[in-house]
Amino acid sequence: MDAFRAEARDFLTTSLEGEFRAARGLGGPGREHEGFDVRLAWERHLGAHGWTCLGWPKEHGGRDASLEQQVVFFEEYARAHAPHRLGHIGEGLIGPTIIDFGTDAQRARFLPPIARGDELWCQGYSEPDAGSDLANVQTKAVLRDGQWVVTGQKVWTSLAHVADWCFAVCRTEPGSQRHKGLSYLLVPMRQDGVEVRPIIQPTGTSEFNEVFFDAARTDAANIVGAPGEGWRVAMATLGYERGASTLGQQIGFRREFDAVVAVARAHGTLPALRDRLVRSWTELELMRLNALRTMRSLGAGEPGPEVAVAKLFWSEWHRRLGEIALDAAGPAGLLAEAAPYELSELQRIGLFSRADTIYAGSSEIQRNIIAERTLGLPR
């Protein structure tokens, strides 16, 4: 494992000192507008050197890396302050889904461009009336002349404005309700029947979008699983979302926490925030220990209840850190860094972290899942 860590560290250090030096730290929540071209080039650089899709089987373009190796890479990636990945939705969500549920033809068509960093993906799940209640999906698709014709709306679609493809849950059986009658389609984004409208966030940026499908088309073969099996495939995709990257995420959290402490010291607000900061530090340590426990259970093939609490815990923690970040600067924290609306890093964390407890499963839904599925409590 030491040799693998050294290899990953050497690659990242060398690469980020060269042509990609300017890409360091670019992107991330509230900053996805930064350096798109150089970050896309970075995706392709990673792919060309075999540092994407580490956990995928070798026959599908991965490294067959162990869970421990994946954790090591994500830790080193965070420590190197490498740019936020543009290809994480393709690599972490749709890629594993196609590997497990797709056809040989789909694997041959879609996996290589993801591994190379040539095609970007977005996730078409949430709708205006089907966010946390995903089973209420109303976007429709009908099979006509060898193609699926898709009509409807998706919302809160991360990176839709730069994506080449969308994996979308659509209702393909007329008159069906809830979990039944849904299908999982792969839809090209660059066509006349797709309109993307950015949603402006409190940070002034717009990495979330509305997506409107107006008779958009995709080939009949671009369905993952059989018609009507979309719910099962969609739930499997969500299961891939809680992976080895969590420990790397926490290194980024620690960097943010240290920055908040530094600002509190500089502005003289440290005494007033001391108790909240101590609690935040303690919870960050608990988060790390729970992540290690989760990795152990996943490695043993027996995921335990610690998996269920991870998203709820980190999102609530990060939102509280965002509130501390805004308070740490005192009254000056209410003023933008520069006109018209240039924010400091801590202001950006404070504002964007409000979304953490909503996206990828709201805290209310996460608590219901823990209560009903993990603890066995009544609905």
Q: Which is more confidently placed, 189 or 268? A: 189
> d(Cα 325, Cα 56) in Å, to the nearest integer?
38
pLDDT band at 299; cut points 50, 70, 90: low
For strands 209-219 and 147-154, give the pairing.
antiparallel
Residue 41 parent element (H or E): helix 36-48
Q: Count Cβ atoms within 10 A of the Cβ of residue 200 and give its class: 0-12 exposed, 13-18 middle, 19 or more buried.
A: exposed
Q: Which two tokens stand for residue 207?
A: 């990495």
DSSP string, 158-183: TTTTT-SEEEEEEE-STT--TTTTEE
Contacts of 282 (CB under 8 A, 6+ apart): none
From 7, 68, 210, 241, active-site residue: 241
pLDDT in tens, 333-365: 888 888 888 888 889 999 999 988 887 778 888
- Whether the predicted pLDDT of 242 surpasses 60: no
Cis peptide before 198 (omega within 30 of 0): no
Q: Which residues contact 266 (CB under 8 A, 6 or more apart)?
A: none
Identify the band that residue 138 occupies on the pLDDT scale cut at 50, 70 and 90.
Answer: very high
**Residue 269 and residue 330 in contact, taking contact as beta carbons nearer than 8 Å:** yes
Instruction: For residue 104, give the amino acid letter.
Output: D
Task: Name the band, by pLDDT with cuts 50, 70 and 90, for residue 375.
Answer: confident
d(CA 321, CA 324): 5
| DSSP 8-state class, residue 349 | H
Return d(Cα 293, Cα 284) in angstroms, integer: 14
pLDDT above 70 covers a percentage of the chain that reads 94
pLDDT at 379: 83
Least confident of 161-165, 234-238, 274-278: 234-238
**In this structure, what token pair is assigned to residue 304?**
């335990």
Cα 53 from Cα 68, distance rounded (Å): 14
Confidence of residue 12 (pLDDT cuts 50, 70, 90): very high
Mean pLDDT across 14-36: 89
Q: Is residue 49's pLDDT more than 70?
A: yes
Listed in sequence order, the residues at least 6 apart from 218 whose beta carbon sits closer than 8 Å to its beta carbon are 147, 148, 150, 185, 186, 187, 188
Residue found by looking up tokens 């018609």 in the block: 227
Rounded to whole angstroms, the Cα distance separating 149 from 217 reads 5
Residue 136: how many CB atoms within 10 A of its CB? Answer: 15
Mean pLDDT for the stretch of residues 230-247: 76
Say which residue, 370 or 150, is predicted with more confidence.
150
Question: Rounded to two decimals, what is the model's pTM?
Answer: 0.86
CA max distance for the chain = 69
Q: What is the mean pLDDT of the chain?
A: 89
- For residue 255, give every residue at least 6 positions away whose Cβ sits within 8 Å of its Cβ, in sequence order, or none: 78
- For the stretch 98-132, pLDDT in tens is 999 999 999 999 999 999 999 999 999 999 987 76
- Find out whether 79 and 251 touch, Cβ atoms under 8 Å: yes
Q: Which residue has the higher pLDDT, 302 or 377?
A: 377
Q: Which of 67-81, 153-167, 299-313 has the highest mean pLDDT?
A: 153-167
| Cα 86 from Cα 117, distance rounded (Å) | 9
95 closest CA partner among 186, 172, 161, 8: 186
Instruction: Say how many C-beta atoms besides its own lie within 10 A of residue 359's C-beta.
Output: 15
Instruction: Let me know if 241 is a catalytic residue.
Output: yes
Task: Report the pLDDT value the prediction gives residue 235, as an integer from 0 to 100.
Answer: 83
Q: Binning pLDDT at 50, 70 and 90, where does residue 194 land?
A: very high
Tally helices (H) and strands (E) across the chain: 12, 7
